[in-house]
Chains A and B, each alone.
Chain A
Amino acid sequence: MSTHVIGGSPARLGGLDRVTGGQQYVADIHLADVLHAKLVTLDCARARIISIDTSAALQVPGVRLVMTAADLPQPVPRFGPQFEDRPVLAVGETKYHGEPVAAVAADSKDAAEQAAALVKVEYEELPAVFTIAAALDPAAPLVQDPALRLDDPLARTNVLREHHFGWGDVDAVAASADLVVEGTWTFPMVTHFAIEPHAFMAAPDGDGIAVWSSIQHPNWLQKTLAKILGLPLSKVRVFAPDPGGGFGGKQHVKLEPLVAFMALRASRPVRLVLTLEETFQTVRRNSTEVHVRSGFRADGTLVFRDIESNYLLGAYADIADRTVTKGSYAAVGPYRAPAARVVARSILSHTTPSTAFRGFGNPQPIWAVESTMDEAARALGIDPLELRLRNLARRGEEIIPGDTPADGDWAQTARKAAELVGWGTPLAAGRGRGIAFGIKSGPTTGLSYSTVRLLADGSVIVYAGTSDMGQGARTVFAQIAAQELGAPLDWITVVMGDTAVVPYDQQTSASRSTVLMGNSVLAACRAVQAKVRAMAARVHRVDEALIAVEAGLVRLPDRVLPIVDVLGPGLGRLGGEIIGNGEMRKDAEPGHPLGGSAAFYEFNCTAVEAEVDQGTGDIVLVRYVTVSDVGKALNPAQVRSQDEGAAIQGLGHTLMEHYIYDERGRIRNLGAIDYRIPTSMDLPLEFISETVENADGPGPYGSKGMSEGALLCVAPAVAAAVRDATGVVIRDLPLTPERVWQALQERSNT
């Protein structure tokens, strides 16, 4: 029995099912009498709904139900994690291209599709806003009904919230800066494009309801549905099968309430699986315009940062304003900054509702801020790595007054990345190098319960409400249990995704699960160990104080036994099991701008060597290095997967991804043909990911959370390399060949 599983890379739990086709995603779950649902949407962004005629649709054989807002409780329930602004179905008005106005449920997918096409909606297209400038225009139509936020002075604008952070006196110290670098950087609208489209299913369940969803936060969903349906939590059972990719796009409630109402109305299970096109209309990342002024002394010391960020949200807030808060709060970067001012706005628009997306509001300001570091380095004649290192916070130094200080040896991470990319070594002609640093705050509050059951034969069941959407949480928790209780890994079952069985977990986000749920599982295992210790004392008639239980072993004064050898005699003829519960709580800190200080930081350094084809604008990533400070890699293979995966996802928005809207706010490039994401052929020619592990994290065995860090710095590192190779500065993403070529043309023309 191996107790050295921490730091090993055992086969992923759930891997076998995934390679044999046995893994059941929501769309694969068979319910005998399920009805198939299809959404009815309009071919425009914002429209006043005049009438909906369902008569033709209802004539289609096999159609059981056509639901519109009129069929829902009145007033139509609204929900949302930050504002309860989103109606279950559009009420009187659609606010974005793809907002559902009706839904059909039928015996077959064909019937549902046919019927949905026969629902006749009479509508009048209305003026709408799709850009920051349009939304901020004083004459702009309002996206949100001011009545929804009566006490808010901003209610008669499209600014949902304006956030202010900062310290020191920027205007006072600005004069002492020898150099001020200033500019505006834009970040495009991009979508998550999980390969599993969102899927939802609901079925009446006795006097309650059962819901299946690809949701990342099953307990949030349970709470929201209970409120909307007027049911006690105990009567709302949420099944959350492992999502086929989440990346934040499946964090919060989307269409589950609609499907739930349909199931209750039809008295039958109803399933809705979105098409890929519909997912583009359902979730995206905030796009931004970030204006940064960074002031430096001649020796490169950072004097101040003055940031103004406009984030363009969609028509409903979802959790998108929180991303603005979190991203802006840490926008100054992992540096010592004597003075800082950050103003960040969440601006509503008649577009796809934005939501959480890996990086959670940080990649956008980092794109701008790190670009100013690069520009400052060039202007001052200081090496870009050196400039950053000079300002980089050392372990224990505050980067944001009053918040968690720097919690790692970040310089070590940066130097490792620099070395791996060959920073400072001679470059072949036509090539350039770029480097960028980034941090993201981990969870600021959280609550994870878990239960561990040590069964009579030494096998273990772990209950943990985390969502395993590919990051491998299931495996990590099993590794912890294996390490602590001595069970072989394949004797451990991890149960997730069932609110009737698994205790409460607040959410799976902010790279929190290894730290929060991991510590909870660890605590549960320790609770089991304590009971084993008491059992051993009884069985061996030894004082408990003389016994230690750790790493799967019972250490008695005269010998060492594996835990399983104590269980048999300990449980006796009646049998039984040993149950331990764990709780990991990070309480809110009253008065804290984020609600709480960061549990940890994800720090990443990305360094890139690139070649630019000056004729076509193509960027070739010759060597790409990403290094993250992870504390302790409990499962190195999974850590590597996460870092490489995050980098590749970042290459998407850096090089090729963006929504294309028409003048009427309709998305032109819905679907996979004209929205490009990286393929295997888009890998950097040489792609290196490494970690720094100093066991200095708050998670089990010194781990920190990770999986978002490697996405933060992709764009600024690549753009810096392009600049180094060609001299062109580009401040807009994505860096398509056309955009790079245009910048090269402009450079030659000046």
Chain B
Amino acid sequence: MTDTIATQPIEVTVNGRQRLLDVAVHHTLLDVLRDDLALTGTKECCLVGECGACTVIVDGRSVDSCLVLAVEADGAEITTVEGLAVDGTLSALQQAFLDTGAVQCGFCIPGQLLSGTALLAESPHPTVAEIHEGLAGNLCRCGGYQQITEAVLAAAESADRAAAGAADR
């Protein structure tokens, strides 16, 4: 009558750190990140790939981790919100979110940051329309979209400035 939980070993690199895990086959990447790895920064909300609260980057692409079985991620490189800051220094996007007031209740923010990070890696100079479309899969019920958009633009600009600065030297 009861299901014996089947598990399978996987190897994933999470925020630069290699992890060997035994995961339940039916658990999603979201489950494993939060429960097995105690990385609770990635959030659980709709569980149907609509709200984006669970967004992480897998092999360079933003995905809803609630729709990825953990076993599928075997061998993948994963970035979660905990991996955006480097040696305690916030990424330009994280800093921009703070500076523009994009953060309200904060629950959607990890997902927004991951989507924003992926967008900027793909399009370093996005237009407002591209940002809206790029982040449309991240719902914010607090309605902070305008400030979130400004944060992405500000991060893009600061990356430009940093590049220009580096080029000057």
A associates with B: yes
Please list the residues of chain A having a beta carbon within 8 angstroms of any beta carbon in chain B.
Answer: 9, 11-12, 14-25, 27-28, 30, 56, 59-61, 109-110, 114, 118, 192-197, 242-247, 273, 275-276, 469-472, 637-638, 640-641, 644-649, 671-673, 677-681, 683, 687
Min C-beta distance of B146 to chain A, whole Å:
6
Q: What are 26 inter-chain pairs, A to B, with CB distance below 8 A?
A: A11-B99, A12-B103, A18-B106, A21-B41, A21-B42, A23-B106, A27-B40, A27-B44, A59-B1, A193-B141, A195-B107, A243-B105, A244-B43, A276-B46, A470-B142, A638-B101, A641-B101, A647-B143, A648-B143, A671-B50, A677-B141, A679-B137, A679-B139, A680-B131, A680-B148, A681-B136
Chain A residues lying within 8 Å of B132, measured Cβ to Cβ, are 680-681, 683
**8 Å CB contact of A687 from B1, B42, B94, B146:** B146
Question: Are A470's CB and B40's CB within 8 A?
Answer: no
A194/B107 in contact, CB under 8 A: yes
> Are A12 and B146 in contact (CB-based, < 8 A)?
no
Q: Which of A246, A470, A649, A678 contacts B106 (CB 8 A)?
A: A470
| Inter-chain contact B107/A110, CB cutoff 8 Å | no
Pick from B5, B45, B106, B139: contact of A110, CB below 8 A.
Answer: B5
Q: Is there contact, CB below 8 Å, between A60 and B107?
A: no
Residue of A nearest to B94 (CB): A19
Which chain B residues (46-101) contact chain A, with CB distance < 8 Å?
A: 46-48, 50-51, 53, 80-82, 84-85, 90, 94, 97-101
Across the two chains, which residue of chain B brings its CB closest to A643? B143
| Least Cβ–Cβ distance between A259 and chain B, in angstroms | 18
Contact B136–A679 (Cβ < 8 Å):
yes
Task: Give chain A nearest CB distance to B91 CB in angstroms.
Answer: 9
B38 beta carbon closer than 8 Å to chain A:
yes
**Does B144 interact with chain A (Cβ within 8 Å)?**
yes
Q: Which residues of A contact B97 (CB under 8 A)?
A: 15, 19
A17 to B98, CA, bound (A): 10
State the main secondary structure of chain A at its contact with B.
Answer: loop
Distance (Å) between the CB of B26 and the closest chain A CB?
8
Distance A680 CA – B140 CA, assembled complex (angstroms): 8
Additional A-B contacts beyond A640-B147, A680-B131 (12; CB < 8 A): A17-B106, A20-B82, A25-B43, A192-B141, A194-B107, A196-B45, A196-B105, A245-B107, A644-B147, A645-B142, A678-B145, A680-B148
A16 to chain B: closest residue by CB: B98
Contacts of B105 in A (CB 8 A): 194-196, 242-246, 469-470
Cross-chain contact A640 with B101 (CB below 8 angstroms): yes
- Are B143 and A646 in touch, CB under 8 angstroms? yes
- Chain B residues closer than 8 Å to A59, beta-carbon distance: 1-2
Alpha-carbon separation in the docked complex, A617 to B83 (Å): 45
In Å, the complex CA distance between A18 and B140 comes to: 14
With A671-B48, A677-B139, A680-B149 known as contacts, the answer to whether A9 contacts B101 (CB < 8 A) is: yes
Which of the residues A22, A25, A114, A683 comes within 8 Å of B145, measured between beta carbons? A683
Chain B residues contacting A671 (CB-CB under 8 Å) are 46, 48, 50
Cα A110 to Cα B4 in complex, Å, equals 11
Considering the complex of A and B, which 3 residue pairs feature the smallest CB-CB distances, nearest first? A21-B41, A244-B107, A470-B105
Determine the distance from Cα of A75 to Cα of B148 in the docked complex, in whole angstroms.
Answer: 51
A23 to B41, CA, bound (A): 7
Q: Chain B residues with Cβ under 8 A from A110's Cβ?
A: 3, 5, 24
A261 to B124 Cα, complex, angstroms: 53
From A24, A60, A645, give the contact of B143 (CB < 8 A): A645
- Given A24-B40, A276-B46, A681-B133, A649 and B143 contact (CB-CB distance below 8 Å): yes
Q: Are A14 and B142 closer than 8 Å at their CB atoms?
A: no
- By a CB distance below 8 angstroms, the chain A residues around B140 are 195, 680
Residue of B nearest to A118 (CB): B1
Closest to B137 in A: A679
Interface residues of B in 1-42 (CB under 8 A from A): 1-3, 5, 24, 34-35, 38-42
Q: Which of B84, B103, B109 has the most CB of A within 10 A?
A: B103
| Interface contact A14-B106, CB-CB below 8 Å | yes
The answer to whether A641 touches B85 (Cβ under 8 A) is no
CB distance from A318 to the nearest CB of B (A): 20
Query: B81 to A244, Cβ gap below 8 A?
Result: no
CB pair A242 B106 closer than 8 Å = yes
Q: How far is the CB of A628 from chain B (nearest CB, A)?
A: 14
CB <8 Å contact, B104 and A645: yes
Evaluate contact between A644 and B107: CB separation under 8 angstroms.
no
Does the CB pair B94–A195 fall under 8 Å?
no
Q: How large is the interface on B (under 10, 10 to 19, 20 to 34, 35 or more residues)?
A: 35 or more
Is A276 touching B106 in the complex (CB atoms < 8 A)? Answer: no
Count A-B pairs with CB separation below 8 Å: 175
Of the candidates B35, B53, B101, B148, the one having the most CB atoms from chain A within 10 angstroms of its own CB is: B101
Q: Which of A27, A56, A244, A646 has the most CB of B within 10 A?
A: A244
Does A195 contact B147, Cβ atoms closer than 8 Å? no
Q: CA A27 – CA B40 in complex, angstroms?
A: 9
Nearest-CB distance from A7 to chain B (Å)? 14
Q: Is A18 a contact partner of B136 (Cβ separation < 8 A)?
A: no
Min CB distance A635 to B, Å, is 9
Measured CB to CB, the closest approach of chain B to A74, in angstroms, equals 32
Closest residue of A by beta carbon distance from B82: A21
Contact assessment for B141 and A195 in the assembled complex, using a CB-CB cutoff below 8 Å: yes
Query: In the complex, A12 Cα to B51 Cα: how many Å?
Result: 24
| Contact B109–A18 (Cβ < 8 Å) | yes
Complex Cα distance A243/B43, Å? 13
B135 interface contact, C-beta 8 A: yes
Please give, as numbers and ranges, the residues of chain A lying within 8 Å of B48 by CB-CB distance.
671-673
Task: State A20–B109 Cα separation when bound (angstroms).
Answer: 9
Contact assessment for A194 and B141 in the assembled complex, using a CB-CB cutoff below 8 Å? yes
Q: Which residues of A contact B5 (CB under 8 A)?
A: 110
A347 to B: closest C-beta gap in Å? 28
Give Cα distance in the complex from A671 to B48, angstroms.
Answer: 8
How long is the Cα–Cα vector from A28 to B43 in the complex, in angstroms?
9
Shortest Cβ distance from B100 into A: residue: A637
B113 within 8 A of A: yes
Tell me the complex Cα distance, A23–B149, Å: 22
B84–A649 contact, CB under 8 A?
no
Pairwise interchain contact A680-B145, C-beta atoms closer than 8 A: yes
Residues on B with beta carbons closer than 8 Å to the beta carbon of A245:
104-105, 107, 141-142
Q: Is the CB of A20 within 8 A of B81?
A: yes
Cβ-closest chain B residue relative to A648: B143
Chain B residues closer than 8 Å to A246, beta-carbon distance: 105
Q: Within 8 Å CB of A276, what residues of B?
A: 45-47, 51
Q: How far is the CB of A283 from chain B (nearest CB, A)?
A: 13
Set of chain B residues within 8 Å of A14, measured between Cβ atoms: 106
- Which of chain A's residues have a CB closer than 8 A to the CB of B147? 637, 640-641, 644
Distance from A194 Cβ to chain B, minimum over Cβ atoms (Å): 6
Nearest Cβ distance between residue A253 and chain B, in whole angstroms?
20
A314 CA to B139 CA in the complex, in Å? 27
Q: Which of B105-155 contact A (CB under 8 A)?
A: 105-110, 113, 131-133, 135-149
Known contacts A27-B44, A30-B38, A196-B45: does B141 contact A680 (CB below 8 Å)?
Answer: no
Query: How long is the Cα–Cα vector from A402 to B82 in the complex, in angstroms?
Result: 55
**Cβ–Cβ contact A12 & B101, under 8 A:** yes
- Chain B: CB-nearest residue to A472: B104
- In the bound complex, what is the Cα–Cα distance between A679 and B138 (angstroms)? 7
Question: Which chain B positions have C-beta within 8 A of A646?
Answer: 143
Among A11, A470, A648, A671, chain B packs the most CB atoms within 10 A around the CB of A470
- Expressed in whole angstroms, the minimum distance between the Cβ of A656 and any Cβ of chain B is 13
Instruction: With both chains docked as a complex, state the minimum distance between the C-beta of A596 and any C-beta of chain B, in angstroms.
Output: 29
**Cβ-defined contact, B108 with A195, below 8 A:** yes
Are B107's CB and A12's CB within 8 A?
Answer: no
Known contacts A11-B98, A195-B141; A470 and B104 CB within 8 A of each other: yes
Looking at the assembled complex, report how far the CB atom of A694 sits from the nearest CB atom of chain B, in whole angstroms.
23
Is there an interface contact between A637 and B101, defined as CB atoms closer than 8 Å? yes
Separation of A677 and B136 alpha carbons in the complex (Å): 11
B2 touches A114 (CB 8 A): yes
Evaluate whether A20 and B136 lie within 8 angstroms (CB atoms) in the complex, with A671-B46, A680-B131 already known: no
Whether A196 pairs with B107 at a CB distance below 8 angstroms is yes
**Chain A residues closer than 8 Å to B146, beta-carbon distance:** 644, 683, 687
Q: Which residues of B contact A21 (CB under 8 A)?
A: 39-42, 80-82, 110
Does A195 lie within 8 Å of B104, measured CB to CB? no
Chain A residues with CB under 8 A of B46: 276, 671-672
